[in-house]
Amino acid sequence: MRFVVEPEARGMRLSKYLFDRLKLSRTLVRKAKAAGGILVDGRPARTSHVLAGGEVVEVRVVQEGRVEPEPVPIQVVWEDPYLLVVDKPAGMVVHPVRDYVSGTLANGVAYHLLQSGSDPVARPVQRIDRETSGLVLFAKEPAVAGLLSRELERQKLERRYIALVEGAVAADAGTVDKPLRRVWGHPVAREVAEGPRTPEQERLLAEAAAAGRALREDWTAAGQPAVTHWRVLRRWPAATMLELRLETGRTHQIRVHMAHLGHPLLGDELYGGSRRLIGRQALHAAGLAFAHPVTGEMMRFEAPLPPDLADLVARLDAS
């Protein structure tokens, strides 16, 4: 990426400009520095370089996130030279993983970028579950991805979801502030971190740590902090439509928090929901809002309910 140094940055060290003004991550700057990819006016520069104002600063890093471009159909909501917003259908994985190595949204994005003449590197800024539909944001440049990841960590990237849950939720709005951890012995499930793990679980975790195996925070008894805000949009006798906003983005956060309230998502069998009305978890990433990392413009995107959720709402209305 290229940046023109503002006059008011005169006298600032390049390192401070990269971290404080451009909000680049230390990992990204370290990679660029190691590859000789930090330039001032076209010449390699040390991060100790003192800026005069008006220079052109370039940050170049090795491309990451490459997947095989495949002609997977994608629905582009918006695109510019730096970003791509896609409306993902339910049933599609965002990025290749062990059990889904092709046919993913990232494969389709890489193909779209290749066809449009851009570097075919798919960098999802946030991810949603395979069965969740809705908006996914991709960055075309590594520096842009780093900036947006920092905004996500600082809770500056707003994510709005629509969910249909079991039963009639009594309150009109609320917040679930409950940490999450992995369910011991299950490959994907999470749970609210309440109470200690069993002595046997703690012993096995201690042995793994002693052996030098990396243990993520969500393996610990305390889990990872997770906060979900919700409000009721509509009620039926057997279901409730909720709008949800996330402060954190833990795996299965909405699904676990709603089950904890006693109202699992319709169709979410993993956490107690029934598939009587719909064959997948009734969750849709309906809105994204963030400041554009290059222009500073406030960006807002909305995705309407997909046909299966719209049909579910119609059937609930008719029941």
Q: Does the annotation mark 99 as catalytic?
A: no
Bridge partners, residue 83, by sequence: 139
Question: E strands, the chain, where?
Answer: 2-4, 38-40, 43-44, 56-59, 76-79, 83-88, 123-124, 133-139, 158-166, 173-177, 180-182, 190-192, 227-235, 239-246, 283-291, 298-302
CA 72 – CA 105 distance, rounded (Å)? 7
What is the largest distance, in Å, between two alpha-carbon atoms of the chain?
Answer: 69
Catalytic pick among 99, 119, 129, 311: 129
CA 32 – CA 196 distance, rounded (Å)? 43
Say how far residue 302 (Cα) sits from the centre of its chain.
Answer: 16
- For 228-262, give the DSSP string: EEEEEEEE-SSEEEEEEEESS--TTHHHHHHHHTT
| Active-site residue set | 129
